[in-house]
């Protein structure tokens, strides 16, 4: 009975907490699916040795409590800092941060940009839904100009922050931006960030407009929106959401490589300042 | 036994290393930076991790992450940085992360006087976070005690899975004295909590026993959240029962072990007429004042608090009840004096001595003069018909 076969992603999920609390049609599901497909194709059977760290926001609920692995649900904006602590304390763990634009680009941007500068050995997935979805759709640093939200009732007037381009300008090893219509590219990027480019700072931004506060405001259904995104993001690299694609792929030594080199010098040289 | 001539800040750093510190994250701030300098030099050579964070928010959250990963971790800061760390400290209480935070107090509020000693952060250390919670606050009075209490701080933090604040001050941090250190810090006594990782990581039948903390990456699939959670970590942000049970347990975990956590020392005459209650650097002039007052025939004693929170009010009352006059010298505008007022009867005269700023201590002669003056007034009043 094929219809009774378990979906492959169930082995990565805490089944007892399903269904997810996301709005019907929410693109968080696409991000989850891409991530799980990447794990499946990498041959990961059980997420032992992976630690998922998230902050506050809708996308922060993707790992906590849903993913069956060690998950840490931290304060608003502090996921990258906690993840840094975990990675440095246990360098053999794979630490993945999932967060939204409010979490990583607004309140937590300082930690994000400094982790990127350090080339900290983390994978950060930014689910950019363009608003603060969990708290009723207030404007965020990535809200498109002109969009009406509860905090910009006459249309957003602050210029947009291009997070992926900013991070690409730092010392980060791998930076990519995809929208939810680029499913295979997104999955392949996550795969690359966990295999070929498995050291240093890896940053993947996913354009996933909030179904409730962005798509509905535009007067569209989720189906119409994904069709539009397919048109915009599959054939162009320049989109209203910024450059789409792999913005940077390098294999420089990560923070830990450099730190262990520093320690070697310290133990050989001895004295210090 | 190792004997060295150390500042309080160096003693803190040495104690942390001896207690097994393997992770330090911090942001430079006067007058605590020497702790960071020492560990920047020594941690990498001793198999540890040192990182200079981008701000104090990052420092405390990195430390929490490392502690949850199962590694002894610490940060040190001073007033403004301690204010920034409050959110993370509250998070550490909620996820029961065993961390140690050293606050070398300086004069505030605001940027205040960065290089001058003060004791103004007592109430903040106790109550600085939102929500109901208890952390442990220890106050060393000398480099020797900075060493001893930092070792103790790690024992309490890991024993109870609770953040411990070491509330040092600029006088202690920059003062330099001979410090005696054991060759090897003895292993913390077992039996504080459970090591059985099959038990729930956020629940315990006996509220005084903290739950076990399984390390990350070993396949325990830990679910850790700063939101209200049940004993297995599942988020429950709606029910009264889950929240009430959780916050009550977090409080009882510490208060139920108050005998182990609350430390003090008494010096002077038994059942003294004049009692001085002091802590940190200001317990030193207080001790001199006791000797001088004894020399001229007063019945006087010093209760020196090493633990400032949780306060053992029964212990405090047992000393205050015998005294006619209680003097509380503090380098602030009056904070621990409220604890004394809580336990003092109406007949007891509670006299605060407050000074702060400019790096000026409360001198022993000031305490002596105040004691003599107030004692004179008390006698005069007693002799009135």
Instruction: Tell me the pLDDT band of A2, cut-offs 50, 70 and 90.
Output: low
Question: What does the pLDDT average to over A177-201?
Answer: 96
pLDDT of residue A20: 93
Judgement on whether residues B11 and B116 belong to the same structural domain of the protein: yes
What spatial distance separates the first Cα and last Cα of chain A, rounded to whole Å? Answer: 70
Residue A104, domain member (yes or no): yes
pLDDT of residue B254: 96
Residue A18, domain member (yes or no): no
Alpha-carbon gap: B73 to the closest alpha carbon of chain A (Å): 9
Judgement on whether residues B41 and B167 belong to the same structural domain of the protein: yes
What is the tens place of the pLDDT at every residue in A22-50?
999 999 999 999 999 999 999 999 999 99
Judgement on whether residues B51 and B148 belong to the same structural domain of the protein: yes
Q: Does the CB of A21 have a partner CB in chain B at under 8 Å?
A: no
Q: Which of chain B's residues have a Cβ under 8 Å away from the Cβ of A53?
A: 65
- Ranges of residues in chain B with a pLDDT under 70 are 189-191
pLDDT of residue B307: 98
Question: B216 and A92 in contact by Cβ < 8 A?
Answer: no
**In this structure, which long-range contacts are made by residues B148-153, counting pairs with CB atoms below 8 Å and at least 24 apart in sequence?**
B148/B15, B149/B306, B150/B11, B150/B12, B150/B15, B150/B16, B150/B19, B150/B100, B150/B102, B151/B15, B151/B18, B151/B19, B151/B185, B152/B263, B153/B100
- Residue ending a domain, among B137, B158, B181, is B181
Alpha-carbon gap: A5 to the closest alpha carbon of chain B (Å): 24
Q: Is the pLDDT of residue A271 over 90?
A: no
Domain count, chain B: 2
What mean pLDDT, rounded, does chain A reach? 94
Domain count, chain A: 1
Residue B215, domain member (yes or no): no
**Residues B133, B163 contacting (CB under 8 angstroms):** no
- Which residues neighbour B28 within 8 Å (Cβ) at sequence distance 6 or greater? B36, B52
pLDDT of residue A268: 86
Residue A25, domain member (yes or no): no
Instruction: Provide the 8-state DSSP code for A16.
Output: G
Residue A137, domain member (yes or no): yes
- Residue ending a domain, among B148, B181, B214, is B181
CATH of the domain at B22: 3.40.50.970
Residue A160, domain member (yes or no): yes
Q: Does the CB of B80 have a partner CB in chain A at under 8 Å?
A: no
pLDDT of residue B192: 81
Residue B205, domain member (yes or no): no
CATH of the domain at A151: 3.40.50.970
Q: Which of chain A's residues have a Cβ under 8 Å away from the Cβ of B216?
A: 51, 70, 86, 90, 93
Residue with tokens 């182990």: B260
pLDDT of residue A273: 56
Residue A57, domain member (yes or no): yes
pLDDT of residue B187: 73
Q: Does the CB of A89 have a partner CB in chain B at under 8 Å?
A: yes
A vs B: CB pairs below 8 A:
140
Q: Does the CB of A81 have a partner CB in chain B at under 8 Å?
A: yes
Alpha-carbon gap: A77 to the closest alpha carbon of chain B (Å): 10
What is the tens place of the pLDDT at every residue in A77-110?
999 999 999 999 999 999 999 999 999 999 999 9
Print the domain residue range for B122.
2-181
Q: How far apart are CA A166 and CA A156, in angstroms?
A: 21
Question: B216 and A110 in contact by Cβ < 8 A?
Answer: no
Residue B150, domain member (yes or no): yes
- Residue ending a domain, among B152, B181, B210, is B181
pLDDT cut 90: percent of chain A above it: 92
pLDDT of residue B219: 92
Residue A12, domain member (yes or no): no
Instruction: Tell me the pLDDT band of A235, cut-offs 50, 70 and 90.
Output: confident
Judgement on whether residues B273 and B378 belong to the same structural domain of the protein: yes
- Which residues neighbour A164 within 8 Å (Cβ) at sequence distance 6 or greater? A126, A175, A176, A177, A203, A205, A242, A243, A247
Residue A2, domain member (yes or no): no
CATH of the domain at B290: 3.40.50.920
Print the domain residue range for A244.
34-269
**A185 to A31, A62, A107, A181, B116: CA distances (angstroms):** 12, 20, 29, 9, 58
What spatial distance separates the first Cα and last Cα of chain B, rounded to whole Å? Answer: 61
Alpha-carbon gap: A54 to the closest alpha carbon of chain B (Å): 10
Residue B253, domain member (yes or no): no
**Torsion over CA: A80, A84, A90, A96 (sign):** positive
Task: Tell me which of A85, A118, A122 to substitute to probe the interface with B (most B C-beta atoms closer than 10 Å).
Answer: A85
């Amino acid at each position: 009975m094929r219809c009774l076969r378990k979906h492959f992603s169930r082995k990565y999920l805490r089944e007892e907490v399903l269904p997810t609390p996301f709005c019907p049609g929410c693109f968080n599901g696409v991000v989850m699916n891409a991530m799980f497909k990447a794990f499946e194709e990498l041959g990961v059977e059980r997420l032992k040795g992976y630690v998922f760290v998230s902050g506050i926001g809708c996308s922060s609920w993707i790992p906590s409590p849903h993913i069956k692995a060690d998950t840490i649900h931290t304060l608003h904006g502090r996921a990258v800092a906690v993840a840094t602590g975990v990675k440095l304390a246990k360098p053999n763990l794979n630490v993945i941060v999932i967060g939204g634009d409010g979490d990583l680009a607004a309140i937590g941007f300082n930690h994000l940009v400094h982790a990127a500068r350090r080339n900290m050995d983390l994978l950060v997935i930014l689910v950019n839904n363009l608003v603060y979805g969990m708290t009723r759709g207030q404007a965020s640093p990535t809200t498109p100009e002109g969009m009406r939200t509860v905090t910009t009732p006459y249309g957003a007037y602050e210029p947009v922050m291009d997070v992926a381009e900013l991070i690409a300008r730092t010392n980060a090893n791998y930076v990519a931006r995809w929208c939810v219509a680029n499913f295979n590219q997104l999955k392949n990027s996550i795969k690359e960030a966990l295999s070929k480019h498995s050291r240093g700072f890896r940053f993947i931004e996913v354009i996933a407009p909030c179904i409730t506060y962005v798509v509905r405001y535009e007067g569209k259904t989720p189906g119409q929106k994904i069709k539009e995104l397919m048109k915009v993001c599959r054939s162009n690299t320049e989109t209203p959401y910024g450059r789409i694609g792999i913005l940077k792929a390098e294999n420089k030594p990560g923070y830990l490589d450099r730190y262990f080199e520093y320690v070697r010098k310290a133990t050989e040289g001895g004295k210090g300042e | 036994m190792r004997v060295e001539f150390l500042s309080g800040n160096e003693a803190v750093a040495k104690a942390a290393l001896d207690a097994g510190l393997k992770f330090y994250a911090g942001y430079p701030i006067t007058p605590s930076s020497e702790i960071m300098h020492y560990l920047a030099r020594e941690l990498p050579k001793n198999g540890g991790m040192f990182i200079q964070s981008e701000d104090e928010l990052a420092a405390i959250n990195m430390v929490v992450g490392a502690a949850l990963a199962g590694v002894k971790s610490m940060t040190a800061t001073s007033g403004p940085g301690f204010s920034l760390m409050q959110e993370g400290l509250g998070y550490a209480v909620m996820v029961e992360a065993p961390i140690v935070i050293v606050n070398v107090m300086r004069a505030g509020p605001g940027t205040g006087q960065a290089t001058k000693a003060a004791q103004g952060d007592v109430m903040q250390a106790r109550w600085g976070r939102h929500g109901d919670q208890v952390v442990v606050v220890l106050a060393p009075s000398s480099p020797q005690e900075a060493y001893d209490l930092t070792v103790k701080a790690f024992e309490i933090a890991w024993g109870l899975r609770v953040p411990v604040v070491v509330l040092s001050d600029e006088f202690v941090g920059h003062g330099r004295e001979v410090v005696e250190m054991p060759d090897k810090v003895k292993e913390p006594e077992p039996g504080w909590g459970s090591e059985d990782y099959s038990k729930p990581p956020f629940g315990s039948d006996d509220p005084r026993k903290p739950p076990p903390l399984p390390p990350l990456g070993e396949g325990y699939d830990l679910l850790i959240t700063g939101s209200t959670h049940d004993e297995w970590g599942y988020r429950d942000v709606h029910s009264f029962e889950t929240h009430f049970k959780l916050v009550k347990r977090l409080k009882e975990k510490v208060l139920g072990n108050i005998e182990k956590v609350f430390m003090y020392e008494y010096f002077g005459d038994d059942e003294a007429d004049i009692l001085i209650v002091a802590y940190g650097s200001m317990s030193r002039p207080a001790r001199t004042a006791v000797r001088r007052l004894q020399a001229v025939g007063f019945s006087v004693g010093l209760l020196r608090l090493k633990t400032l929170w949780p306060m053992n009010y029964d212990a405090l009352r047992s000393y205050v009840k015998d005294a006619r006059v209680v003097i509380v010298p503090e380098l602030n505008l009056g904070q621990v004096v409220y604890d004394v007022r809580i336990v003092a009867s109406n007949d007891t005269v509670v006299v605060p001595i407050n000074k702060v700023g400019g790096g000026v201590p409360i001198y022993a002669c000031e305490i002596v003069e105040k004691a003599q003056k107030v004692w004179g007034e008390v006698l005069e009043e007693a002799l009135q018909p």
